[in-house]
Structure 1
Amino acid sequence: MPSEHDQHNINVIKGLIMDATRRANSGHPGGAMSSADFAYILFKEYLKFDPQDPDWPDRDRFVLSAGHESMLLYSLLRLVGYLNDDDLQSFRQYKSRTPGHPEHDLTPGVEATTGPLGQGFAMAGGLATAEQFLRGTWGEEITDHYTYVLASDGDIQEPVCLGSAALFGQWGLGRLIVYYDSNAIQLAGPTARCDCADKRRLFESLCWQVIEIDGHDHEQIRTALDQARAETTRPTLIIGHTTIAKGSASLEGSADTHGAPFSEEEIAQTKVKLGLSSELFAIPQETEDAFRDRFPLLRQTADDWRLRLQQRQQNDPAFAQAWERQHRPVLPAEITWPEFETGSKVATRKAFGKCLESLIEQLPHLVGGSADLDPSNQTATWREKVGIFGNQNPAGRNLCFGVREFPMGAVVNGLALHGGVVPFGATFLVFSDYERNALRMSALQKLPALHIFTHDSFHVGEDGPTHQPVEHVSSLRLIPNLLVFRPADANESRACMELALQQKDRPSALLFTRQGVPVLPAAQTPELQEGVGRGAYIVQEAQDGAPDMIFMATGSEVHLALEAAQQVDPGRIRVVSMPCLELFEEQPLEYQEQILPASVTRRVAIEAGRTDMWYKYTGRYGLVIGLDHFGDSAPAGDLVEAYGFTPEAVAKSVRRHFAS
């Protein structure tokens, strides 16, 4: 089709962008208009997808990292047929399929929920990592697609972007292609006010192929895409130099167009300039037909793939079983877990390490790694046995993240978004702050990812307050849809791991101790699993019958609660382990009453962290023993004494509190 026809179709998209943001009285038209040339050509001529099935497994992935340009993506998805006119007209409205920033579980064709800048870029690398791993595992006849990204100046400025870019260059993600719409404008004004970086030299130093083009020149766009697809050992950054609000009547190059709709007068004048109808949300039939002229080939490509998959499943039962298993949560009966000796002392991080090692053969699609804390996070043996992932070893399952917690969290999210793998990332709990927004995005996107955190309390010891988490457990519990597991011992750790692997639509944060804790007398495995699965259960009942006091605790403080109860009055005290408050809150009120009967008002909660959240369970007059201050640099044993986390100190506090 002649270029002028393509340009008219691009102008139609710009009209949709202007109309939708104006009707919503909210949105970001400028960047969407400057990126429209590239996005249109990518979708119309290059992107592999099934027009009838947005979830076709071997589709190319497109991630709009510049999530504020959402109306550009929605306009393209309307031309694809995944969205309709009503969707465009309800942009940014309550419960519409076209929210202000793309949401992958809400809108067909959206691969990742983006908005917080830089994370779409990082998640896209996770998608490309999954593709490279699965291609190395199954071959190109089953996995053979690209991951494309549209990024903005703001994306590139975010440290999570550059941190993850270093990983993707190191890993040689040759099928990751990022288009950087460099319009030199951001919300506050010209990028030159805050950024002097030479992006070409910067990304080349990170082992990327870099191509610079005029982002409005269609032939340069096509040539750049061809060069990017031909490069197999390096990711590619295409720097498209563009003009924000390209095509507007009087606002080209204006920062005012970044985050505010055009006036009605500006839209009318721009439509005249672009040769568009004054009709709102107009899509000429010839534009839709031209955009879809490749659809018969796309449908045939998808159908051919399905036939290949079916034939391989029929001819290779092992593959068929593995394929089915890779596309659903883990079933409890599929895993044999390690055993732990009652009475021994095992750090729950070491219990995690043993569980991880047991999964090497049993869960061959488990992939992940540590943020440069392999020995501390107990992932060193895992790394040595499964191999290090990279272009030269695409079937390697250990991801060497380096000291990059935030990129790690976002990459894990991308792996989960792709599907076919079970991803995990590990670091110290105190550094969960660094990746917090990735954890939030994990929960928001309903991703069954595993986020591992060790060294979960002041027992870190000599490393001091910078490394001793205080508020972090409570902080994680504030994130909706995130399961926070803090197991009491090795057996609970195993049970929590099993539950995390069973999740379909929510991530898990698993918090493990540095120090050894006693392996409690194990209940029968089904009973333990049921108790942990309900978030809280009785680990020791009052010896004299119905209790008149309840001790509740998590993690390493459960054994402390048990010992303190013996000193106070074992005949009258029930001890409850609460490894996951979120699961406990989901239980029927009958079960909650069974564990924490309202008639027992004398309650004590013990956790080595902030106390605030526990008053929900103890009541206003209950006792919460925790830590509401920063730690100190000293041996852990000294801190236990200083902070009152001994059985004697707890017993004394309980007697004093309830003396009246």
Structure 2
Amino acid sequence: MMTEANPALDAKAVSVLKALVMDATRKANSGHPGGPMSSADMAYVLFKEFLRFDPSDPQWFNRDRFILSAGHESSLLYGLLHFCDLLEIDDLKAFRQFGSKTPGHPEIELPGVEVTTGPLGQGFAMGVGEAVAEALLRSKLGDETIDHNTFVLASDGDLQEPVALGAASLAGLWGLGKLVVLYDKNEIQLAGPTSRCDCVDYRKVFEGMCWQVLEVDGHDHEAIRTAIAEAKNDPRPTLIIGHTVMAKGTATREGDHETHGAPLPPEEIAATKAKWGLDPEADFQVPEDVLTHFRSHFGFLEAESKKWMRKLVTRRETDSEFDELWNNVTGSRRSLKLRMPEFEDGSSVATRKAWGSCLNEIMHQLPFLAGGSADLDPSNQTAKFREAMGVFCASDHGKRNLSFGVREFPMGAILNGMAAHGGVIPFGATFLVFSDYERNALRMSALQKLPVLHVFTHDSFYVGEDGPTHQPIEHASSLRLIPNMLVFRPADAYETRACLELALTQTERPSCLLLTRQGLPVLAPSSHPSVVEGPARGGYILEDCDGEPEVTIMAAGSEVDLARRTARMLEGRKVRIVSIPSMELFDEQTPEYRNAVLGGGLRVAVEAGSTGLWYKYAGLDGIVYGLDHFGASAPAGELAREYGFTPENLTRIITEKLA
């Protein structure tokens, strides 16, 4: 605890905080007042007495992280950020309005907001990711440089989402002792009491997942501060269950589930303010004595931050090895220059194996590259990374392989938290068909502009015998529909290498690598020089004819080889082969470049998946050959023949169209 408690002023400050919640939601005629009012005591004690941050530098690297997993309680966080001098009263008055700093759910762009939350459970899981990044960096850089806590405020609804419990099980396994979750257990949600849908004993559940669990009256400041202090001194992650009352302190609406998602009536707000000794006629009132009391330790916080900075500078000047590590933590990814493996021209290499070869090469060059697979290490080609880098665990946070188990959604959300923390390069891998399981975490990667690397292997019906449950059909197109997401489906080992380099140098976009199980011919730069620079433009001419083409066959991934074999059968025709490993990057090129690449003749697109997106390149007069139905269990070659993914069939279709 950094300050002395003043019960009278603390009680007044909490009342002012709750009044701001009521006023903001009422003025917006939208929002959630009940939950913020039940959480206010726990959040206030945390911010006032425990949270280490620099009020003059919200991005101070060694700050404690606070995550409001219950994102619908954003008005509470905004009130606290006003207390912290990071928001103005006018910002609170603009709650939920277009262009304001105070949107309906917290967004990462606002100083003081660590991650974008809203979809319940993901804030909890991202908090686990923040704690993973802190633990990994602390193990490498020392606790004199990295030593901070991650605090999460979660609601009943958060813990009902399986993504939270999946992440919690990993947090306990990994011994993330600097993770503290404040659970506002008001037992009310939008539809009514939680007893209608939940009978879980969360104490037993979290203790069974190797957490410390403490239970307190969530409105008793002394009990709250004692619990937080105890949590900070335990090597296990801690769940503090705060038993609270929805809309605590209101004149007549305590415990009313309708306060969860609807502003309080003006007369209820006035009566409540009068009950608390505030002016019932005044909106957005923040007495000066409340701010002075809340900010009384700001000088201490700023001095601690400056002291840390001086130590950092001295250490960097006197320890060259540390200075190099720190440059890896804070340097721009855009400047990465990596040594990559070579591949034999004409040999057959699955793109998942090419990724594995690249990973094995770069893992020693990137000391803070960390991640792993969702229980598919050999299939995802991450097994050698695991063996070389070791398994991150409670007894050794310096290892860099994260064994996620069969937890795709928690994996994606944890990676987001790691990226939001900064200093690490996170990646996760699974089968492409299971991208559905982590879909919302992928969306949240893109929404938050987090440069996470998502690796998806086994990318089409060529998975074969595992059948339609494991054969992705619509998944590539589905991922391409996510704004701000880069989706790469490389055609061979060298394109895989190029796409990985592009992904690793991103600073504001996540990337998905879609990789094959089956081998593909290597297109070495000696025979195909455009394979080196072409992928950076999303689409490029891989093989060309003399003059203007009669036919341009465009493809991505394994179907580029099909396009090349088809071109050889179109004897006497001028055929161009275009590889489009990334639609997003290709769409960002000028219209002149795109038209020059695609040519003016018949345009043919082929991909072993959904056809819809390819029409923007082929046009309605062109040909799009794909798969708009589920696959079947059979050897991959048999399926290719059955579904017409052969040069003979494609040649026939093109010839008939030309005729």
Instruction: Please report the TM-score for the alignment, with normalisation by the length of structure 2.
Output: 0.98
* 1:635/1:259 CA distance change after superposition, 3 Å: same
SS in structure 1 at match of 2:261: coil
For residue 526 of structure 1, report the CA deviation from its aligned partner: 8.0
Where do 1:347-362 residues align within 5 Å?
347-362=350-365
What is residue 11 of structure 1 aligned with on the other side?
15
- Asked if 2 retains the 8 angstrom alpha-carbon contact of 1:150 and 1:179, the reply is yes
For residue 524 of structure 1, report the CA deviation from its aligned partner: 8.2
- Asked if 2 retains the 8 angstrom alpha-carbon contact of 1:171 and 1:389, the reply is yes
Q: How many Å separate the matches in 2 of 1:75 and 1:254?
A: 22
* 1:647/1:525 CA distance change after superposition, 3 Å: closer
Q: Which amino acid aligns with 1:152?
A: S
Indicate yes or no: 2:400 matched with 1:416.
no
- Asked if 1 retains the 8 angstrom alpha-carbon contact of 2:492 and 2:557, the reply is yes
For residue 333 of structure 1, report the CA deviation from its aligned partner: 6.1
Q: Which amino acid aligns with 2:286?
A: I
What is residue 103 of structure 1 aligned with on the other side?
107
What is residue 630 of structure 1 aligned with on the other side?
630
Q: How many Å separate the matches in 2 of 1:315 and 1:614?
A: 56
Instruction: Please report the TM-score for the alignment, with normalisation by the length of structure 1.
Output: 0.98
Where do 1:45-60 residues align within 5 Å?
45-60=49-64
* 1:565/1:352 CA distance change after superposition, 3 Å: same
Q: Which amino acid aligns with 2:309?
A: R
Indicate yes or no: 2:91 matched with 1:91.
no
Which residue of the other structure, out of 470, 473, 478, is the alignment partner of 1:475?
478
What is residue 607 of structure 1 aligned with on the other side?
607
For residue 523 of structure 1, report the CA deviation from its aligned partner: 5.3
Indicate yes or no: 2:52 matched with 1:44.
no
What is residue 126 of structure 1 aligned with on the other side?
129
- Asked if 2 retains the 8 angstrom alpha-carbon contact of 1:368 and 1:424, the reply is yes
Deviations along 1:94-138, whole A, 9 cap, x unmatched?
010100000012x11000100000000000000000000000000
What is residue 202 of structure 1 aligned with on the other side?
205
Bigger drift between 128-137 and 640-649 goes to 640-649
Q: How many Å separate the matches in 2 of 1:456 and 1:380?
A: 19
* 1:93/1:529 CA distance change after superposition, 3 Å: farther
* 1:547/1:447 CA distance change after superposition, 3 Å: same
Q: How many Å separate the matches in 1 of 2:295 and 2:305?
A: 15
Which residue of the other structure, out of 145, 154, 160, is the alignment partner of 2:163?
160
SS in structure 1 at match of 2:363: helix
SS in structure 1 at match of 2:86: coil
For residue 504 of structure 1, report the CA deviation from its aligned partner: 0.8
Q: How many Å separate the matches in 1 of 2:364 and 2:214?
A: 42
What is residue 616 of structure 1 aligned with on the other side?
616
What is residue 400 of structure 2 aligned with on the other side?
397
Deviations along 1:310-345, whole A, 9 cap, x unmatched?
011111123223212322343566210000011000
What is residue 21 of structure 1 aligned with on the other side?
25
Where do 1:567-646 residues align within 5 Å?
567-569=569-571, 571-597=573-599, 599-600=600-601, 602-646=602-646
Indicate yes or no: 2:494 matched with 1:491.
yes
SS in structure 2 at match of 1:466: helix
Q: How many Å separate the matches in 2 of 1:5 and 1:526?
A: 71
Q: How many Å separate the matches in 2 of 1:488 and 1:190?
A: 53
- Asked if 1 retains the 8 angstrom alpha-carbon contact of 2:184 and 2:243, the reply is yes
For residue 529 of structure 1, report the CA deviation from its aligned partner: 3.6
Q: Which amino acid aligns with 2:42?
A: F
* 1:294/1:306 CA distance change after superposition, 3 Å: same
What is residue 238 of structure 1 aligned with on the other side?
240
Q: Which amino acid aligns with 1:389?
A: F
Q: How many Å separate the matches in 2 of 1:99 and 1:631?
A: 43
Bigger drift between 332-341 and 297-306 goes to 332-341
Where do 1:109-508 residues align within 5 Å?
109-232=112-235, 234-277=236-279, 278-331=281-334, 334-508=337-511
Q: How many Å separate the matches in 2 of 1:413 and 1:525?
A: 37
What is residue 77 of structure 1 aligned with on the other side?
81
Q: How many Å separate the matches in 2 of 1:85 and 1:329?
A: 35
Q: How many Å separate the matches in 2 of 1:168 and 1:67?
A: 21
Q: How many Å separate the matches in 2 of 1:334 and 1:584?
A: 23
SS in structure 2 at match of 1:181: strand
Q: How many Å separate the matches in 1 of 2:251 and 2:587?
A: 56
Q: How many Å separate the matches in 2 of 1:334 and 1:604?
A: 36
Q: CA RMSD in A?
A: 1.2
* 1:135/1:521 CA distance change after superposition, 3 Å: closer
Q: How many Å separate the matches in 1 of 2:572 and 2:418?
A: 48
For residue 207 of structure 1, report the CA deviation from its aligned partner: 0.7
For residue 569 of structure 1, report the CA deviation from its aligned partner: 3.7
Q: How many Å separate the matches in 2 of 1:526 and 1:566?
A: 20
Q: Which amino acid aligns with 1:68?
A: H
Q: Which amino acid aligns with 1:273?
A: K
SS in structure 2 at match of 1:227: helix
- Asked if 2 retains the 8 angstrom alpha-carbon contact of 1:329 and 1:501, the reply is no
Q: Which amino acid aligns with 1:566?
A: R
SS in structure 1 at match of 2:469: coil
Percent identity, please: 60
Query: What are structure 2's unaligned runs of at least 5 residues?
Result: none
Q: How many Å separate the matches in 1 of 2:572 and 2:175?
A: 60
- Asked if 1 retains the 8 angstrom alpha-carbon contact of 2:530 and 2:542, the reply is no
